Structure 1
Amino acid sequence: MASGIELLVAAALCLACPPLNDTMPEGLIELNPDGSLVTETPLEVEAEDVGLAERAPVETLEVLRNKKEKLRNMKQWINGKHLRIATLEDYPLSYTEVLENGTRIGQGVSFQIIEFLQKKFNFTYDVVVPQDNIIGSTTDLDRSLIEMVNNSNVDLAAAFIPSLSEQRTFVFYSTTTLDEGEWIMVMQRPRESASGSGLLAPFEFWVWILIFVSLLAVGPIIYMLIIIRNRLTGDAVQQPYSLGHCAWFVYGALMKQGSTLSPIADSTRLLFATWWIFITILTSFYTANLTAFLTLSKFTLPYNTVNDILSKNKHFVSLRGGGVEYAIRTTNESLNMLNRMIYNNYAVFTDASNDTYNLQNYVERNGYVFVRDRPAINIMLYRDYLYRKSVSFNDEKIHCPFAMAKEPFLKKKRTFAYPIGSNLSELFDPELLNLVESGIIKHLSARELPSAEICPQDLGSTERQLRNGDLMMTYYIMLTGFATALAVFTTELLFRYINGRREANQWARHGVGRTTNGQSIMPSRWLRGLRRLNSGEGQLLGTSTHGQNVTPPPPYQSIFSHGGGGGAEQRWRRALDANRHGLILGGEQNAPGVRRLINGRDYIVFRNSNGQSQLIPVRSPSAALFQYTYTE
């Protein structure tokens, strides 16, 4: 509630306001409370004022009146009319049944649409089928559906007919598209995924190629960098490793093996550490992805697209006289690239309209790929699933022995067909358009199916046991490794035999140990080893010296003590005195050997009675092992 002061201020301000404009805008249409016009609309309106160009075709009232009159006459003409309607045996979209009195009636989605039109326009009809259950084309017109429509033997073809370019010269397709037909491939469900072998699956093809290239290239790169560094710096401490050592280091790091190489230079250490870090990350990714693939991997099929069928020359089957056959045989269609497969007997077109028979005979028994439109495939797999589930309730793999590809084999718009010159299209097409836009046709096509997907590509099983197929690459690698080792071993034996024969021929030709000019030669190490073994001079690995006339060296503790001696030490010294081959340690005549540094370790070097050198380790652990070897 405003106070008195506020009202006085508002009245003072209103005195300065401009007067109100009571005039209405020009051309305004006013309505009375009952909705009638107060003012009349202007009758003279220019075409430019309503957005029409001067040359634009303006549909006059006379044209609209003529169209409405034509539709009225057609409705009167068809009222009570008896039509002949042709169809195909294409379950579930269109099929027929013969009653006991011999009357053929139409069933399926097509005749549900016809019944809707029948109730709206009040006509009757008879159902006829062609002699052959085929659509028909230029080269396959006899006894077909297209022939019946072209000859005006029927008034309408009520079937989901694919709109192919070749048939347009024979019939008139309805302007309303019923749906976009999709022909899908169904095949036997493979036991394992077709995405590749278990060992190769974690990485793509090019990743494996790059890993192989890096395995070959990193070894020479490290070798060259080490050589360049030593040349530039003149460092004599860092030993330049050979190319073979660098290559084996790279391979050993990939296999998670250690290395005997111990670089000193910082740059060389960084090279080695960089490769180790790279291999660590790579193997971690590989292990994680391999685990995921072998347990919860996405299932893929071996045949998903038309290119898979063409490249792998896979046998496939489809209905005789259907959209797939004509799309392959017609030159300007997308599937014409499969035409050569027909002549090579990879494509089969069956006359059987029973999809269950085709599924069992061609797919289950012979391993073919069955190409069928999506509604028929869904109904067929669903009924097969129900039957198999009644046989085995728990095993999911028995319920779904077939799998359906994701990518369509063929996509075509499908419509009804009329004889050329027929006016039924103008009467029926607007009603068909209403059914399509409201989604009724799509609902009728999937009415018999459940909401859940039946037998999906990936069954979604969380428990998966590894099979031989997952480990097949492991077997291949093992067999390849053994075969390579056997080949190398055979090559070694062959070269050794060839070299032995060449040396034996040389000795036989020039005399044992003599050349052509009379000079003596030394035999090869292999032959020298054989000669020592045959003469008893050598000693095989693993054999013991006990029981032989080999004087063992003195005990380790007696080497540095000269006061007394046991029997072993006296035998050793007598043998040295007899042969006079002993080396003096520190210039003393009674010392049994000389002390030397060999490979960074201290040894006492003695000379045996047969002239061979004997090493006695000075280091305590090695000396203990040596003492244990020569004492009982």
Structure 2
Amino acid sequence: MATGIELIISTICNATFCEPIYDNPILDSLISQNTKQYLALSEEFNGKHFKIGTYNNRPLSWTEKDDNGTLIGRGVAFVLVDILQKRFNFTYEVVVPGNNFELGGEQAEDSLIGLVNSSAVDVAAAFLPKIVKYLKLVTFSVDLDEGVWMMMLKRPKESAAGSGLLAPFNNAVWYLILVAVLSYGPCITLLTTLRSKLVPDGEPYISISPSFWFVYGAFIKQGTSLAPDANTTRVLFTTWWIFIILLSAFYTANLTAFLTLSKFTLDIETPQDLYKKNYRWIATEGGAVQFVVNSPNEDLYYLSRMISTGRAEFRSMGSDYDFLPLVQGGAVLVKEQTAIDELMYGDYLQKAREGVAESDRCTYVVAPYSFMTKLRGFAYPKGSKLKKLFDYVLMFVLQAGIIDFLERRDLPSTKICPLDLQSKDRQLRNSDLMMTYMIMVVGLSAAVAIFIGELIIKRYLRVKITKHNKGKRKKAKFSNKPKFYNYDDSRPPPYEAIFGQNSKFKIKDSSKTKIINGREYLVIDAENGDTRLIPVRTPSAFLYNISK
């Protein structure tokens, strides 16, 4: 067999004037010693009979029995075996372990690695992961592929993002907003108190109760009766309003996006979630997952604690479909991606044949992140000559992309039951509005509690205080000196202050009218001695409920 350099030289010579270098005694020295050894090894195993071990790991490898009871190998692994058989002209028989384990059992015959290690088979035609425990017992071929172990679980009815009202922000943002609401009111009180003491211009400080209600009212976009004149207080108010405006804009936009284009998320996405949230998970007994988790040299060793608590278990099943009832019960299945894809696709087709609605066929879903990844290949006994013979051909098969094609040939080109089913109708559910119900219940409970508190304070405590102070009542002293009150003329007086029972304006029958600038006004006297003009026979007169 010609090497790469020989093929290049042969191509150049054939395109010019040279003769082919094969079977040319002059250039025979160019043939490498390795090529001679390989040709000799190929002649040595020509027509030999091999024992090939395998185990049930659909769709990569499994066995069936023909009419005579002879085991026949199936799957991607035996497509490669057939290629090797045609190349090297050998015959073989299939041998399976007793317990369908990769490694483990009481005897060597119980596992596939045990068969290879004891030289009971010449080669293991299966995609075995290259983990440390296996490397100590057998010799692996070239890397045939990279095995990816995924986590399959029952598709939840609701996204793990939470309620619709809380979804736009994560927990950290909500906590910071709560801290801002609770702390900004005391900050206003503190700064206005310091200003009133350091800058004595008559501007009073804002106590804690009005500050809190201002912050809360602005948070729900309500107005306030506070009208500060100091620039410091106005800047404080403006800062909080700007904060609320931006926060409301972000919340409204994200809430709209969540309700229309929300991405479905799972509660379990990584192996760390299994440990942190204490989810029950299962894997194949005697497989790579069991030995990786139990190995202190592996990154997933922390999951071994879940085995001792019973939250993780390893089971040996006759078929992968036997795992589905456990997954339906809430367990997470950890298995190779190819096996999970075939399992989900078969379940989808079964539901389609049974007439299940399209929206209900995808019962299971795969976590977005892998559990682990390992390189895989065939296994040979230690010191086997077949490694050098077979690996040369397997390397070319791998480079041609044949293995990747064979692993996906029976599966659809699209993703099977993706995480986001791209549902076009997005109707609000009770879960989206659950927070509104909680707010109503909490608000009503708080109102009832405050009502009871006010009832106790105002009806019982004040009655006791009044009875206690009745005997200590002092005579009131009256002064003949008139008292003068300062009124704020910058705002219009309320209606009750003018014509109510406690009105400071006294309208008498002797009150006169006066025309000023073409308008008629009613001239009245206020309690403080001032004279007021009230418009008459104008649209604004209706505000004072006066008819003349």
- The Cα of 1:239 is off from its aligned counterpart by 4.1
Provide the residue aligned with 1:455 in structure 2: 417
Residue 560 (structure 1) aligned with residue 509 (structure 2): yes
Q: What SS is found at the alignment partner of 1:194?
A: coil
- The Cα of 1:213 is off from its aligned counterpart by 2.6
Separation in 2, partners of 1:62, 1:469? 76
Question: Over residues 537-563 of structure 1, what are the superposed CA-to-partner deviations in whole Å (9 max), with x where a residue is unaligned?
Answer: xxxxxxxxxxxxxxx99xx9994259x
> Conserved in 2, the CA contact under 8 Å of 1:392 and 1:398?
no
- The Cα of 1:199 is off from its aligned counterpart by 1.6
Question: Over residues 169-197 of structure 1, what are the superposed CA-to-partner deviations in whole Å (9 max), with x where a residue is unaligned?
Answer: 221112x1111101111111111211232
Separation in 2, partners of 1:288, 1:500? 50
Separation in 2, partners of 1:434, 1:424? 16
Amino acid of the structure 1 residue aligned with 2:417: C
- The Cα of 1:226 is off from its aligned counterpart by 3.3
Q: What SS is found at the alignment partner of 1:253?
A: helix
Q: What SS is found at the alignment partner of 1:299?
A: coil
Provide the residue aligned with 2:235 in structure 1: 270
- 135, 140, 145: which one aligns with 1:173: 140
Provide the residue aligned with 1:75 in structure 2: 42
- 207, 211, 235: which one aligns with 2:201: 235
Separation in 1, partners of 2:276, 2:423? 31
Q: What SS is found at the alignment partner of 2:222?
A: coil
> Conserved in 2, the CA contact under 8 Å of 1:295 and 1:464?
yes
Amino acid of the structure 1 residue aligned with 2:163: S
- The Cα of 1:265 is off from its aligned counterpart by 3.4
- Closer, same or farther in 2 for the Cα pair 1:261/1:118, shift >3 Å? same
> Conserved in 2, the CA contact under 8 Å of 1:161 and 1:415?
yes
- 91, 95, 100: which one aligns with 1:128: 95
> Conserved in 2, the CA contact under 8 Å of 1:162 and 1:412?
yes
- The Cα of 1:270 is off from its aligned counterpart by 3.4
Provide the residue aligned with 2:150 in structure 1: 184
Separation in 2, partners of 1:140, 1:280? 72
Separation in 1, partners of 2:119, 2:457? 88
Residue 201 (structure 1) aligned with residue 150 (structure 2): no
> Conserved in 2, the CA contact under 8 Å of 1:186 and 1:404?
yes
Amino acid of the structure 1 residue aligned with 2:235: L
Separation in 1, partners of 2:274, 2:172? 24
Separation in 2, partners of 1:465, 1:140? 58
Q: What SS is found at the alignment partner of 1:134?
A: coil
Residue 383 (structure 1) aligned with residue 346 (structure 2): yes
- Closer, same or farther in 2 for the Cα pair 1:276/1:102, shift >3 Å? same
Amino acid of the structure 1 residue aligned with 2:509: F
Residue 107 (structure 1) aligned with residue 74 (structure 2): yes
> Conserved in 2, the CA contact under 8 Å of 1:392 and 1:399?
no
Separation in 2, partners of 1:215, 1:392? 54
Separation in 2, partners of 1:155, 1:115? 15
Separation in 1, partners of 2:18, 2:463? 126
Separation in 2, partners of 1:430, 1:252? 77
Separation in 2, partners of 1:214, 1:378? 48
TM-score norm. by structure 2 comes to 0.79
Residue 596 (structure 1) aligned with residue 527 (structure 2): yes
Residue 302 (structure 1) aligned with residue 264 (structure 2): no
Provide the residue aligned with 2:323 in structure 1: 358
Provide the residue aligned with 2:445 in structure 1: 483
- Which residues of 2 match residues 395-544 of structure 1 at below 5 A? 395-493=357-455, 499=461
Question: Over residues 366-419 of structure 1, what are the superposed CA-to-partner deviations in whole Å (9 max), with x where a residue is unaligned?
Answer: 1111111111111111121122233346x4430212111111111111111111
Separation in 1, partners of 2:451, 2:510? 52
Provide the residue aligned with 1:337 in structure 2: 302
Separation in 2, partners of 1:356, 1:409? 20
- Closer, same or farther in 2 for the Cα pair 1:418/1:347, shift >3 Å? same
- Which residues of structure 1 form unaligned runs of 5+? 1-30, 38-60, 523-551, 563-593, 603-618, 628-632
Separation in 2, partners of 1:266, 1:491? 38
By relative contact order (CA 8 Å, sep 6+), the higher-ranking structure is 2
Q: What SS is found at the alignment partner of 1:380?
A: helix
- The Cα of 1:491 is off from its aligned counterpart by 4.2
Amino acid of the structure 2 residue aligned with 1:106: G
